[in-house]
Amino acid sequence: MGKVFPILLAILGLGAGVGGGIILRPDPTEVVDINPCGDVSAAHAGDKAANVTDTTTHEAGTNENVDYVKLNNQFVIPVVKDGRVSALVVLALSLEVASGQQELVYQREPKIRDVFLQVLFDHANAGGFDGAFTSGLNMSLLRDALREAAIKTLGSTISDVLIVDVVRQDA
């Protein structure tokens, strides 16, 4: 009887879980597929960089067409304290550019990455990734510095820099 009791408890628990899932299941509702960007895969079928980039066109508040170009690789920034790496910050960035200017971004990507890395290193050395590094003020300062650097590199083609992902891993 001692070996059967755990098996009965497992079966009873499994049954209770399934029964609870069935009872608490939400009512079936009509599922609506909302895709404000349209069929992006068809629009980029011939685009050589479609498999590694995320470009989307939408109407901005100023009725100006813009595209979002995701930079291919993430940025890894070391946070140094007392001569040692105390953390690593990983960022993924996208650029908001004038419609049809994606190729310019890809042509100048090495220069853009170099300029962005310098801004990110300066931000890290100034303590921008310490403490509450995702506070509104810190993120706004970083975003503004990245936007200024991008405008110096790409000119009026760029309108904004978006911080898509940010992760900090303490050592």
Q: CA-to-CA distance for 32 and 26, rounded, in angstroms?
A: 16
| Tens-place pLDDT, residues 117-140 | 999 999 999 999 888 888 888 899
Amino acid at 49: A
The angle subtended at Cα 103 by Cα 53 and Cα 36, nearest 5°, is: 45
pLDDT of 150 > 60? The answer is yes
Q: Which of these CATH numbers, 3.30.479, 2.40.70, 3.40.50, 1.10.10, describes 48-170?
A: 3.30.479
pLDDT of 96 > 90? The answer is yes
- Supply the pTM of this predicted model: 0.62
Domain residue spans of the chain: 48-170
pLDDT of 51 > 50? The answer is no
Residue 131 token pair: 């403490």
Between 47 and 86, the more confident residue is 86
Say whether 42 sits in a helix, a strand or coil: helix
* Residue 30 pLDDT: 52
User: CA end-to-end span of the chain, whole Å?
Assistant: 51
pLDDT above 70 coverage of the chain, percent: 77
The whole-number average pLDDT for the span 45-56 is 42
Non-local (6+) Cβ contacts of 36 within 8 A are 58
Among residues 72, 77, 66, 60, which one has the least CA distance to residue 133? 77
